[in-house]
Amino acid sequence: MNPYHIKSKIFYPFIVLLLIFVFSACNKSGDKKDGNKIGEMLGIKELPQATTDSLYIKEYISKKPAFKAYDDLMYLFYGERDYSLAWFRDNELIPEAQKFLTTLDDASKEGLDPKKYKLVDFKTLFKKYEDMSGQDSARLELQQQIDVGLTASYFNYASDFYRGRVNPGEVGSIDWNVKKNKIKLHKALQTILKERESTYPYYEFEALHKGYIDLRETLQKYRDLQEKGGWAKVELGKAKVLEKGDTAAAVIQLRKRLNPGGVINVNDPKMRLFDDALLAQVKEFQRLHGLAEDGKVGGNTLRMMNVPIEDRIQQIMMNMERWRWIPKRLVPKSLDQKYIWVNIPEFKLYMYEDPDNDPEAEREYKKTFEMKVIVGKELNSTPIFSDKMEFIVLAPYWNVPNSIVEKEIKPAMLRNPNYLEGADMEIVTKEKDPKPISASSIDWASVTEKNFPYMVRQRPGPTNSLGNIKFLFPNSYNVYLHDTPADALFNQTERGFSHGCVRLEKPIELGEYLLKDMPEWNAQRIRQTIEDGEETWITLPKKLQVYLVYFTSWVDEDGKVHFRDDIYGHDKKLAKEYFG
């Protein structure tokens, strides 16, 4: 940097501030117009733009308790710019300032409360600044006040908008161990101020994920519908079920429910008939709510139809919040540029891939296939987390967790000493080269999860609980993806049957897909290895990102909004934090 520039940067504002002090001390009359004499003395029409410092920032934040949580960000942001102002250029507020205030006005569109972020009356401050003379020394202090206020307000809003209002890492009741969204808010602000480039849409104060944006649009539609009265409640009266061919007043209620905001001629006899068109609508409703598509209205279908619109709006907002917790980059550059997405309440697995496998690109990953899954029952719920898949195991042993040994194997052995052999299981030592242990040598009555020193495992084969293949992403939960011999369970609409692991509808297809870049492991060799029945481990050439997430509302590729039951009660817990 030019030495003259350094000196002028340091000393010229110092001279100006010194003159301000002199005039303040000498001005006994209290005439505010005397502040303009500084500019006149220096022979300039406008004073140079102000700077700020850490003491000013500290004092400002101390008067605004809501901003104290962001003091580290404030010092980091201003420190990296030598405490020069951010929202002014040549003494003029940059357009991004007004754009940001408009963003705060519209915070409700994001499911956020604008009052939480509009803590400074910028409209009055802006007007006051515009009315001041460029030679007025008080303008310098007002510049600092506006600039620091805008930055603090940005961090207050952006923290909630990009990271979430609720921090799942700090709230023990919320189960969410997906890797954190590590967005650097001070860098995002630099992008907004056009001081650095970014592939993310910070310029537009925009969200980072399409899933969030789609839900936000749905939120607005549901709020508009709410203002018009929401939707009609369906009451069947004495009838337990409505189905095709029925004629009743309840059919009109059903039409109103499935066509909210539409006009229905209640005097038209045809409107009382449950016809083919209405049947198609009912089945579509059932599809979007994860129900059996039998076209009949009763039971769970009726229950889902009568969920109030207010509850659905809250559900949308909570799932928008979950999107804020998702990392801005779904797949790290060091990994294979594809990922597995298991949505637990949906009982589905999706495979997404970057067709170009380009770790430097920032684009939407394309869905390559999907399948049904079985997840943990409520008492053995599948945990919510992310990790990296490293291994595929063909013809696997099932190493039975000690918790299952105590709760299930122990009672079975006390009833029938030959249970293990009948289930094709064995007991071995916990060694690299396991040695067999006789089941009769164990005092089963005293076995507990913590004191059992051996391993119960089920041999590879057609009855193995893991089926023919498993996919490992080592984690503290001991949860993984695997095959299952119980294929009939995939015909159920609600598939919470496992002990926590995720069972796959099409495991062999997934294995072939993940090994497609390893020619030595073609489909024929995979199937032959399984038939041979000898456990075989395959290390993936690149680790693969896996997400096990919990979304009870989302928008599909066709723009249709889906809702699911809160099978583990996570929505209920989040609602207490988000709306409480």
Question: Can you give the three-state secondary structure of 174-228, one letter per residue?
Answer: CCCECCCCCCCHHHHHHHHCCCCCCCCHHHHCCCCCHHHHHHHHHHHHHHHHHHC
DSSP, collapsed to helix, strand or coil, labels residue 102 as: helix
Alpha helices in 63-198 (DSSP H): 71-79, 95-105, 122-131, 138-158, 185-192
Q: Which member of 289, 499, 501, 570 is catalytic? A: 501
Give catalytic status of residue 186 as yes or no. Answer: no
Q: What whole-number distance in Å separates Cα of residue 155 and Cα of residue 74?
A: 8
Looking up tokens 């809250």, which residue turns up? 314
Beta strands 455-458 and 425-428, pairing class: antiparallel
Q: What whole-number distance in Å separates Cα of residue 355 and Cα of residue 368?
A: 9
Q: What whole-number distance in Å separates Cα of residue 300 and Cα of residue 396?
A: 38
Q: What whole-number distance in Å separates Cα of residue 435 and Cα of residue 425?
A: 14
Backbone φ, ψ for residue 188 (5° rounding): -60, -40
Q: Which member of 186, 482, 499, 570 is catalytic? A: 482
Cβ pair 538, 515 in contact under 8 A: yes
DSSP, collapsed to helix, strand or coil, labels residue 524 as: helix
Give catalytic status of residue 482 as yes or no. Answer: yes
Backbone φ, ψ for residue 434 (5° rounding): -60, 140
Looking up tokens 């420190």, which residue turns up? 79
> What residues does 348 pair with on adjacent strands?
343, 372
> Residue 456 CB: number of other CB atoms within 10 A?
24
DSSP state of 114: G
Tokens at 248, concatenated: 């009743």
| Residues forming the active site | 482, 501
